[in-house]
Amino acid sequence: MKNDTILVLADPAEPQIALLKNSLAGAEILVGNSAEQFEQAATRASVLFNWSGSLALFRKVFGMCPNLRWVHSRSVGLERTLFPELIESSAPLTNGVGVFSASLGEFALGAILYFAKDFRRMIRSQMAGVWEAFDVLPVSGHTVGIIGYGDIGRAVAARVRPLGMTVLAVKRHASPLKDSDPLVEQIYTPDHRIDMLPRCDYLVVAAPLTSETRGMIGEHEFAAMRRTAVIINIGRGPVINEEALIRALSTGRIKGAALDVFNHEPLPPGHPFYKLENVLLSPHCADHTPDWLDNAMQFFIAQFERFQKGEPLQNVVDKKLGY
């Protein structure tokens, strides 16, 4: 290992820290959850790794480190990470895109089947001791629209397409995707998302939270959707206007919603989502597999090895765009 100093914002007792130190035994690794713990090492730090630190701590420690050559965030979402000093810095920023995509794709598929087969009704009848047959819906031949066709969106498409579902997508930069991506039938730019919505039986929101995507699914979009449509959010809560979603669900404007992310987390007691029968609620843990933290750390270790060799880093963030 070269003489790189890595500052890791984390509780030193977290199990993955031992994995990091064992794997990068030749590097100087300093771990802490207060700025004071990094005062002596900050000037020689070349890498800053925000494993689980708060935004305030991240920003403060970043400001203490004049010689950083790389910054990494464990999280995929960066809306709370991109403070002005980091945006203007020449140090590249990378994140955990791809580490959690498979599990989120599986959650979206599970949510589609949950509503198509009406598992809630089955469970309710089972618990009541009632034998009551009913019709269920196929998913083959139905259409999934994906808002935000990045790594997570592709993971969704890869899981629903083999079931015979048609995939449509909204992506910031349109391209002749039909020719280059066999999973997707048609791609739309964000300003034409209304054209896609009436075609969708299921709408999966997987977009990052930026100034452009905040509130992009609201009253106008719900009015354009089918009354039988289900919306699934595995991106960021504020991409959907929460008040508009509650109205759409409460009035039967859409069939249902499966939500892993919310405007405020934890979701406060008494929130309408807890009581709505047509909501499947996940407490922001759709990607929390038993090994999700180990995988996130292994990704950083592999990234650091690329960094040491001078190879291109993966998941370099466009700090101006926010993803």
Catalytic residues: 236, 265, 284
Residues 6+ apart with CB under 8 A from 55: 80, 81, 83
Cβ contact 21:44 at 8 Å: no
**CA distance to 91, 109, 291, 305, per residue, from 298 (Å):** 22, 26, 10, 11
**DSSP alpha helices (H): ranges in the chain?**
15-23, 55-64, 84-88, 101-116, 119-128, 151-160, 177-180, 193-196, 219-224, 242-250, 292-309
Q: Which of 50, 38, 61 is nearest to 9 (CA)?
A: 50
CA 132 – CA 144 distance, rounded (Å): 29
